[in-house]
Amino acid sequence: MNLKELEDQVRALIAQGRKVEAVKRVRETTGWGLKQSKDYVDALSEVVQEVGRNDPCPCGSGRKYKHCCGRKR
């Protein structure tokens, strides 16, 4: 798996509020330490949190965030 694919998966997990799983996925994929993996996820989650409700969803589904992972439950 390349880093771009990993990034997409991590973004999707973050968008779903599954940050712990995202860190785990980074560690398994890259072999990085916990600190580096956490920093990577944190950096990506800052980007994800800037997503507006009418912007494309960060999980890569192609739908608007408000109709996808940002939908109110």
- Chain residues binding Zn ion by CB under 5 A are 57, 59, 61, 68-69
**Residue 15 or 26 with smaller CB distance to Zn ion:** 15
Tell which residue, 1, 5, 2, 25, has the closest CA to residue 13.
25
Smallest gap from Cβ 42 to Zn ion, in A, equals 20
CA distance 2 to 70: 27
- Which is nearer to Zn ion, 40 or 65 (by Cβ)? 65
Of 36 and 55, nearer to Zn ion (C-beta) is 55
